[in-house]
Structure 1
């Protein structure tokens, strides 16, 4: 694979591939500035790899709204009982265990102080196959994101939130990607993790061919040297390809894209955070 250029987004946050993998799959995560109290995740009862520990009010309520059957256990603070009455009633009806616990216990369960009074163990959702996703698409305008190496769970959560807001159809990932929804990402996504499916691609060039056959154009997002995002007419069926926070997009993938786009700015800072940049790109397509 061609060497990646330095830092298209978040140059200061250079991380190795091993570091990105630990952020998504390991027992410890590097704390971001918005979540400095977050601690190593506590393995939940049974250690079921098919389950994921969600925390945060909107994240848990989104699971209840979209796939209540995925909820396996619920923990909540007493103060949340009135607000979560429909969920508690559903748990009683379907014999799903729930416990009212102290704030300190919720912090331990979530491995974070940002639990917002509720924690739930939920079933994971497997990524879709690219061919299945393409078959499900309607005719007309469709927008999707291809995340090439994005690994920070807080950035991923923010991207999911923006993607849900602007109507992104899916998040595309290569087969090598370690990126997955985590409790931290779901909390930051504020419900967006339940609205935007993940799609797993196999061979990269074959995936690009399939996307083009379905009428998509691919746009590499670059810090400089691309066409002005605000001056170009964007395709109706578009895949934005976002590079990793530190290492950036693979050169070969950049060359394989139909367009290269940049966000013009003052030059006072080198670039936007990848999550902020994604929101700008999505908003311009929607406009």
Structure 2
């Protein structure tokens, strides 16, 4: 390690802030931290963030085993990891959080404009999907299927931190969120920029596989149970459904997302 700072440093046991039993800051799923800090935990979430040059890490905690794994995988964190016992990370998170011995506090990633997002061939739009587990799973699928951006409102959406980041398994580092104040106006702007806007709706006139698609394409998903809001539905260029052959004819929104994205990716990748 000649000429390089060590990838980790010892941390005194007091490094993890303490909370009084039962104390929970309003509106935050985990411990106390500034509003502008993204909380990342779990191996894939943190490792991908450390590999991402756009992600600025403010603080990194790791157990000895996790710090060794960083070295083995050639990840040189900046700042260096503070070596802690697992319990010190436990105290920062909910009781059922699986952190795998690694935790980071980081700056939020930059949000692209709609004009920048429209340059992608495939965009995903989320209409008030609020469950962070579902959104995280959707982000992971979006990263796997090369989605250029996820468009959603800042309100009625979970923060890109904590449970969402863990469920995304590193996907947050590859698919930027474009936050907009009004979804219907954002869809109108995307259409003015040449994007085909397709809403997934169980009452759509045709199956998505039978719907003509072209790039740039924005797929719009609604909240589980509620589906697309009326104004969102009216603003889409076309509605499409996903037909299923089995006894159960509805899917969890994150499962519907991966099916729709896979169908869309295949359709827009074919020579016209």
Normalising TM by the smaller chain, what interval? 0.7 to 0.9
The structure-2 alpha-carbon separation of the partners of 1:267 and 1:90, relative to structure 1 and needing over 3 Å to count, comes to closer
Distance, in Å, in 2 between the alignment partners of 1:281 and 1:214 is 22
- Alignment TM-score, normalising by the size of structure 1: 0.76
Specify the SS of the correspondent of 1:60.
helix
**TM-aligned CA deviation for residue 210 of structure 1:** 2.2
| Unaligned stretches of 5+ residues in structure 1 | 1-24, 29-40
Aligned to 1:107: 90
- Alignment TM-score, normalising by the size of structure 2: 0.80
**TM-aligned CA deviation for residue 103 of structure 1:** 2.1
Distance, in Å, in 1 between the alignment partners of 2:97 and 2:237 is 44
Aligned to 2:36: 50
Distance, in Å, in 2 between the alignment partners of 1:226 and 1:107 is 49
Aligned to 1:20: none
Specify the SS of the correspondent of 1:240.
strand
**TM-aligned CA deviation for residue 278 of structure 1:** 0.3
| Unaligned stretches of 5+ residues in structure 2 | 1-25, 267-272
Is 1:244 aligned with 2:223? yes
Larger Rg: 2
Q: Deviations over 1:139-158 (max 9, x none)?
A: xxx11011000010010110
More helix by share: 1
Distance, in Å, in 2 between the alignment partners of 1:131 and 1:247 is 29
Q: How does 1:46-195 map to 2 (within 5 A)?
A: 47-67=33-53, 70-85=56-71, 86-87=74-75, 89-91=76-78, 96=79, 98-111=81-94, 112-134=96-118, 137=119, 142-174=121-153, 176-195=155-174
**TM-aligned CA deviation for residue 69 of structure 1:** 5.7
Is 1:256 aligned with 2:235? yes
Specify the SS of the correspondent of 1:265.
coil
**TM-aligned CA deviation for residue 100 of structure 1:** 1.7
**TM-aligned CA deviation for residue 165 of structure 1:** 0.5
**TM-aligned CA deviation for residue 222 of structure 1:** 1.2
Contact 1:109 1:119 in 2 (8 A): no
Distance, in Å, in 2 between the alignment partners of 1:126 and 1:146 is 17
Aligned to 1:277: 256
Root-mean-square deviation (CA, aligned residues, Å) is 2.1
Q: Deviations over 1:71-116 (max 9, x none)?
A: 11111121122211244x443xxxx253222222222223244111
Specify the SS of the correspondent of 1:280.
helix
Consecutive aligned runs of 4 or more in structure 1 exceeding 6 Å deviation = none
Contact 2:55 2:108 in 1 (8 A): no
Contact 2:152 2:183 in 1 (8 A): no
Distance, in Å, in 1 between the alignment partners of 2:204 and 2:192 is 28
Distance, in Å, in 1 between the alignment partners of 2:165 and 2:128 is 18
